[in-house]
Amino acid sequence: MAVPFVCCQVMLPFFGLSIIQVYLYFLKYEADSRWLKTFVAFIWALGAVHAVMVCHTVYHYLVLSYTNPLSLIQGEWSVYASTAVSIFSCFLIQIFFARMLFRLTNGKWRIFIAAVYGALIPTQIAFGLLVIYKLFALWDLPKLHAMVYSPLVPLFSLRVVTDAFTSITLCIVLYDSRTDFGESRRLIRTLIVYAINRFILTTVVLVAQVIFLVLKPDSIGAMVMEFVTAHLYINSFLATLNARASLRQGQVVDMSEATTFKITSRTPERRRTVGLDTTFDDSIRGSKTFVKGDTRSVCTKSVRDDFSTADSMSQV
């Protein structure tokens, strides 16, 4: 039971970080739409429920079962319920990023993204539901090795593929929107690093889970690493929203008067124009479009709001 205890101790700081991020979000982004605020609160609530269940699991096996070793081989509802919450949380966050990319693209890109996510995410949730069913059906911990190669390994592998597709697609969208201005190029590089770091953060844990499962299918160590995975996804989601404030620092153009503008690829043979909806919520009204002003500021700001998806998604 050492691995569950260690994973619980690693999970708790991430949960504390999510509390700080949620507080900063509601402090800085009062203009976001009601549905987005509700979604953020719901995701954090899932993380809180997950943390409570994990703590109950550790308490059950390390404290309550201390004088009854035979109970260590029996399942506990909080173990399997926390796994269900984790699967559901990761699914919702991947839907959020899929919707973000769908709204940032158009034409063939949009069709391609919809097709890929339409295949990956439903398949992933199907394996997730199968995991939940088998956990409660098998119940006893020694029997869980029967579900290692199906459906645990396929579920974790699909998560890696989905995260990789999200990060690579976002990098391509950002790179295709680059300009010849130094400030814009530096900003694009920063956003690409953000996208890659998010992918690496979650992938390291997922790959470790898969390797652990394959090498030691009889151990529950890889399964309880799911304690940490859920909060990695939650923090990456909240960090994406909270990054908007720092990305807007130093802007010259007042975006409260702008509603739409264009981003055009600088590469002639791949030239395309993406129309982005940057309409703000009811607290900030405006219906004008950029027709003049410093070109450098407009280009830089366009890249900032390309990544600032919550504003563009605040209008359903």
156 and 261 together in one domain: no
243 and 265 together in one domain: no
290 pLDDT more than 70: no
87 pLDDT more than 90: yes
301 and 159 together in one domain: no
Span 281-300, average pLDDT:
41
49 pLDDT more than 90: yes
Span 105-130, pLDDT tens digits: 888 888 999 999 999 999 999 999 99
In sequence order, the 6+-apart residues with CB closer than 8 A to the CB of 225 are 3, 7, 205, 208, 209, 212
Instruction: Compute φ and ψ for 303, nearest 5 degrees.
Output: -70, -35
Radius of gyration of the chain (CA): 22
Q: What pLDDT shows up at residue 89?
A: 95
Span 125-146, average pLDDT:
88
Least confident window among 163-172, 229-238, 262-271:
262-271
205 and 271 together in one domain: no
In sequence order, the 6+-apart residues with CB closer than 8 A to the CB of 242 are 21, 24, 25, 28
232 and 274 together in one domain: no
Other CB atoms closer than 10 Å to residue 263's CB: what's the count?
21
Categorize the per-residue pLDDT at 254 as very low, low, confident or very high, splitting at 50, 70 and 90: very low
Domain end call among 247, 271, 287: 247
Distances (CA, A) of 266 to 47, 53, 113, 184: 42, 51, 22, 12
What is the extent of the structural domain holding 265? Answer: 255-312
Give the chain's mean pLDDT: 77
Are the CB atoms for 255 and 238 separated by under 8 Å? no
Instruction: Compute φ and ψ for 274, nearest 5 degrees.
Output: -115, 125
Q: What pLDDT shows up at residue 178?
A: 67
The first and second tokens of residue 241, run together, are: 């929203």
Categorize the per-residue pLDDT at 282 as very low, low, confident or very high, splitting at 50, 70 and 90: very low
237 and 282 together in one domain: no
Number of domains present in the structure of the chain:
2
Q: What is d(CA 100, CA 104) in angstroms, rounded to the nearest whole number? A: 6
Least confident window among 125-129, 209-213, 288-292:
288-292
